[in-house]
């Protein structure tokens, strides 16, 4: 049985390889094997774990099959609240991140050489700095004794510190610090291929700045906006470190719950099921988003 | 009308200057808190001292984490650059079925929340018996670094003039020799930039590292995160400054190789 199926597999791989006139496909073999062994197979194993029975001892009960973990997870009011919160959080942070991304990318595009380098540096450096450092910066800035409150109090604008962290606002700021650089670069990489002359033509024809932006620039950068939204949204659904450091129990997200199920409660089936639900939410949202942008793109083509 | 344009221009300028300050100022604040005299965090620092850097160099815990970070980042760099360069080269030359399926598959790990990947690999590794090992972290980080190398190299290869290679082949060079003597010199900078990016991705990643490392293998961001949740001390500032410094060096290095503009488009 196993011999038969594997010879079938090899025949298939052979056919795919033969498809190419030259043997370039052989170069793709290492990465294909890598992705299959350390990505696809582990994902399937996770799916298998989510179907084991839960047990109070150890990770899961060997050899069992059940859908009850999914039923438990989906019907739990606590998990539902948490999913709803995470979803809302992801939408809000994505909207802001993309809006800032469009603005900032536009500024880079319009800037002269030196300013452009500064603006690019301003996003590439945070992008390549670990989340932990960015969130630590968040604490230094936002905490009651942090830089912002110190300035506000020493200048007499406020007599008491404002609550900037351990609440929704703090988590949101932390999250934006993580996603904005990605949004900016995703949009800029599309925008940078566009000619400024097109915008000038629109302005010569009498469009003001805002209108020329909406009608000329925006439709062109839809692919960049799509990528920026997908990345920000995926980070939002998977938000882990920002709520852990800048939030409280009220900002518990999907990812924090997965961590506690996995590492504190050792409930592997529940952690696996919740992970897969999270993955499904991300993938479905990406598909919906692309459908939406496709239909919008189709319309603008005809206008 | 003229006035309105001026106001718009001013608002636009204030907007992006505010943003760039908001993006970079926090990093400057971290650096300045690392050179403070006091044992609590204050900004701006009252008196300047390098004592926390000395404490950092005397701390076995942090030095071990540094070593772990260097091992995993170097491993990730080597593995993902090999995989990514080969894959980009393969896709460049092929229009077969495999490459159409492969590109989305290579990209997918970037879109999956890190916690999901971490949990997935944690369960898988415990079956393989490689949990808490350097290898486990390297493999996980390569899932992220490989697509980035792949995209950088894809655009590098796309801009390479392949007729040069064909000329080499026509003149009788073997495929390997043509690659080695004609293609490689032309794409060397791109490979160098990819290696730097792969290295820094691994150096800075922490969610997967948090789940997949053990007491002996934990990396700098993991230890920083653990310290951050317990107590704020200036040692975290020192470590963060080192991490920011590493990022600055990498950005400058990669910019010199392929240009900051090009780097930004490929990230």
Under the banding of pLDDT at 50, 70 and 90, the label for residue A303 is very low
Preferred mutation among B1, B3, B5, B16 to probe A, highest tally of A CBs within 10 A: B16
- Flag whether pLDDT at A62 surpasses 70: yes
CA separation for the pair B179, B96 (Å, rounded):
21
The C-alpha torsion from B71 through B75 and B76 to B81, rounded to 10°, is 140
| pTM, rounded to two decimals | 0.87
Confidence of residue B39 (pLDDT cuts 50, 70, 90): low
Contact B123 A46 (CB under 8 A): yes
B105 Cβ contact partners less than 8 Å away, ≥ 6 residues apart: A32, A35, A39, A40
Q: Peptide bond before B44: cis, by omega within 30 degrees of 0?
A: yes
Chain B residues lying within 8 Å of A238, measured CB to CB: 112-116
Instruction: Tell me if chain A has a CB within 8 Å of the CB of B225.
Output: yes
Chain B residues touching residue A177 (CB < 8 angstroms): 23, 26
CA distance A6 to A1: 9
Is the residue at B18 inside a domain? no
Task: Please tell me the total count of domains within chain B.
Answer: 1
Q: What single DSSP character describes residue B180?
A: I
Q: Compute the C-alpha angle B96/B100/B101, nearest 5°.
A: 115
B contacts of A59 (beta carbons < 8 Å): 123
How does residue B38 score in pLDDT terms, banded at 50, 70 and 90?
low
Nearest chain A Cα to B224, which residue?
Answer: A132
Q: pLDDT at residue A175 above 90?
A: yes
Which has the closest alpha carbon to B90: A188, A223, A157, A24? A24
3-state helix, strand, coil in chain A (%, to 5): 80, 0, 20
Each residue's pLDDT tens digit, A12-37: 555 555 554 456 778 888 998 999 99
pLDDT at B261: 85
**CA–CA separation, B186 vs B162, rounded Å?**
10
Cβ–Cβ below 8 Å for A146 and B43: yes
d(C-alpha A83, C-alpha A275), whole Å: 12
Question: What sign has the CA pseudo-torsion A235, A240, A244, A249?
Answer: positive
Dihedral angle of Cα B88, B205, B132, A263, to the nearest 10 degrees: -120
Segment A72-82 shows an average pLDDT of 89
Greater confidence, A154 or A4? A154
Chain A contact set for B15 (CB, 8 A): 103, 107
Task: Find all residues with CB under 8 Å of B48, minimum gap 6, and list them.
Answer: B35, B36, B37
Written as one string, the DSSP assignment of B85-98 is HHHHHHHHH--SHH
- The mean of the pLDDT values for chain A is 85
Domains of chain A: 76-295 (1.10.3720.10)
Range of the domain at B194: 55-265
Task: Indicate whether B11 belongs to any domain.
Answer: no
Section A113-134 average pLDDT: 91
At residue A3 the predicted structure's pLDDT band, cuts being 50, 70 and 90, is: very low
Distance of CA A198 to the CA centre of its chain: 32
Tell me, what CATH number does B119's domain have? 1.10.3720.10
Distances (CA, A) of A76 to A72, A73, A264, B101: 6, 5, 19, 38
| pLDDT number for residue A17 | 53
pLDDT reading at B260 higher than 70: yes
- How far does A107 lie from chain B, in Å, by closest CA? 7
**Within a domain: B31:** no
Test B206 with A132 for CB contact under 8 angstroms: yes
pLDDT band of residue A301 (cuts 50, 70, 90) is very low
For residue range A226-272, list pLDDT tens digits in order. 989 999 999 999 999 899 889 888 889 989 999 998 888 888 899 99
DSSP string, A34-63: HHIIIIIHHHHHHHHHHTSBP-SSSS-BTT
pLDDT at B95 over 70: no
* Residue B16 forms part of a structural domain: no
Residue B174's pLDDT band, with cuts at 50, 70 and 90, is: confident
Q: pLDDT > 90: what percent of chain B?
A: 43
Q: Are A127 and B15 in contact (CB under 8 A)?
A: no
Q: Is B179 among the domain residues?
A: yes
Q: How many CA atoms lie within 13 A of A116 on its CB side?
A: 15
Interchain CB distance below 8 Å, B83 and A127: no
């Amino acid at each position: 049985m196993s011999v038969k199926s594997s010879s079938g597999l090899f025949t298939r791989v052979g056919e795919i390889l033969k498809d190419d006139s030259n043997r370039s496909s052989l170069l793709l073999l290492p990465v294909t094997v890598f992705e299959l062994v350390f990505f696809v197979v582990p994902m399937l194993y996770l799916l298998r774990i989510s179907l084991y029975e839960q047990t109070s001892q150890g990770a899961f009960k060997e050899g069992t099959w059940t859908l009850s973990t999914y039923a438990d997870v989906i019907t739990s009011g606590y998990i539902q609240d948490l999913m709803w919160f995470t979803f809302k959080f992801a939408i809000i942070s994505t909207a802001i991140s993309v809006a800032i991304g469009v603005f900032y990318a536009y500024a880079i595009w319009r800037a002269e050489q030196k300013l452009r380098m500064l603006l690019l540096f301003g996003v590439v450096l945070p992008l390549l700095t670990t989340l932990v450092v960015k969130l630590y910066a968040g604490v230094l800035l936002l905490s009651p004794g942090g830089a912002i409150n110190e300035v506000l109090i020493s200048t007499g604008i406020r007599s008491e510190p404002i609550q900037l962290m351990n609440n929704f606002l703090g988590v949101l700021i932390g999250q934006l610090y993580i996603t904005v650089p990605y949004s900016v670069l995703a949009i800029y990489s599309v925008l940078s291929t566009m000619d400024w002359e097109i915008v000038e033509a629109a302005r010569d024809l009498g469009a003001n700045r805002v209108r020329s932006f909406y009608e000329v620039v925006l439709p062109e950068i839809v692919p960049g906006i799509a990528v920026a939204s997908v990345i920000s949204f995926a980070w939002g659904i998977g938000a882990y470190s920002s709520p852990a450091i800048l939030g409280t129990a009220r900002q518990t997200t999907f990812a924090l719950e997965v961590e506690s199920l996995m590492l504190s409660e050792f409930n592997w089936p529940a952690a696996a099921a919740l992970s897969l639900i999270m993955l499904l939410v991300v993938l479905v949202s990406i598909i919906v988003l692309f459908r939406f942008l496709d239909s919008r793109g189709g319309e603008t083509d005809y206008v | 009308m003229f006035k309105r344009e001026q106001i718009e221009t001013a608002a636009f300028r204030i907007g992006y200057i505010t943003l760039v300050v908001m993006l970079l100022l926090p990093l400057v604040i971290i650096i300045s808190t690392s050179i403070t005299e006091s044992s609590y965090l204050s900004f701006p620092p009252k008196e300047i001292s390098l004592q926390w850097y000395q404490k950092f160099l005397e701390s076995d815990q942090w030095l071990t984490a540094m070593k772990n970070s260097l091992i995993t980042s170097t491993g990730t760099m080597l593995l993902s650059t090999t995989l990514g360069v080969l894959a980009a080269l393969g896709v460049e030359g092929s229009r077969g079925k495999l490459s159409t399926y492969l590109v989305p598959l290579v990209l997918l790990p970037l879109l999956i929340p890190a916690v999901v990947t971490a949990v997935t690999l944690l369960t898988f590794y415990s079956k393989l018996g490689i949990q808490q090992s350097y290898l486990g972290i390297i493999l996980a980080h390569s899932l992220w670094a490989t697509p980035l190398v792949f995209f950088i190299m894809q655009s590098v290869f796309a801009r390479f003039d392949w007729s040069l290679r064909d000329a080499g082949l026509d003149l009788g060079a073997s495929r390997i020799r043509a690659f080695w003597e004609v293609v490689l010199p032309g794409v060397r900078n791109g490979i160098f930039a990819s290696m730097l990016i792969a290295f820094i991705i691994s150096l800075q990643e922490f969610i997967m590292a948090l789940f997949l490392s053990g007491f002996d293998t934990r990396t700098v961001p993991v230890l920083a995160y653990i310290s951050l949740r317990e107590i704020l001390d200036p040692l975290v500032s020192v470590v963060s400054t080192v991490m920011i410094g590493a990022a600055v060096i990498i950005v400058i290095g990669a910019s010199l190789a392929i240009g900051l503009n090009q780097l930004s488009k490929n990230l």
